[in-house]
Amino acid sequence: MTVHTAKGLEFPYVFLCGLEEGVFPSKKTATLEGMEEERRLAFVAFTRAEKALYLTDAEGRNLDGSYRYPSRFIFNVDKALLAYTEELNESLINESNWQIGNSEKLMEVMSSELPFGPGDRIVHSIMGSGEVIGIDRDKAAYIIKFDDLGTARNISLRAKIEAEPGRS
C-alpha cells in the first residue's frame, strides 16, 4: 500500500520502510514546495499508526556507489519518541545533516527565479562565452552551448557564470 492510498485509514501497526534521503523524500524532489509535499506525505504515514510506528532505514551504499543517509523526516521526530535498535553513529548524523543542508540550499536555488534563461549570453571563467539553451531542473543545471565547444554542456545552477558584457 502506498502512503497516498493510506490517507484517512488507520492501522494498529505501521511499518514505514525506506526512510533514506533519495527514497523518502524522493531524489526527484527538486523544490522547496516539493519537499513540503513529501513532508506532508510523511506526516500522513506517521499518523496512520494506532499502537506502534516502525521507521526503518538502510545503511551502506546505493547502486551508484553513493552513501545512504537516514531521511530528514527521521531527524524531525522528537528523539524522546524514538526507540532505536541501534543508536545512530554521531558521524553519520553529522554527515546526514550536512547532506540535507546542501540539498535544502539546492532546493532554494531551484525554487527561486534563476538569473539566466534560454537565449541569454553568459561567460564562464573556464569554458568562456556561450548561450544558455535550456535548464534541466532535474539535474539542477543550465544547458549551455559554449562558442568554442562542439556540444552543449550541463553547468550547475550554482556555478559562477556572469552575463556576457554588453549582451543578455
Q: Which of 112, 116, 98 is nearest to 159 (CA)?
A: 116
Total-model pTM: 0.66
Q: Which long-range contacts (CB under 8 A, 24 or more apart) does 95-99 make?
A: 95/67, 95/69, 96/21, 96/69, 96/70, 96/72, 99/21, 99/69
Report angle CA 65, 66, 67 to the nearest 5 degrees: 120
Q: What is the pLDDT of residues 129-146, one digit of tens each?
A: 999 999 987 778 899 999
Report angle CA 100, 102, 106 to the nearest 5 degrees: 115
Q: What is the pLDDT of residues 13-47, one digit of tens each?
A: 999 999 999 999 998 887 788 899 999 999 999 99
The whole-chain average pLDDT of the chain stands at 90
Query: What percent of the chain clears pLDDT 70, i.e. is strictly above it?
Result: 98
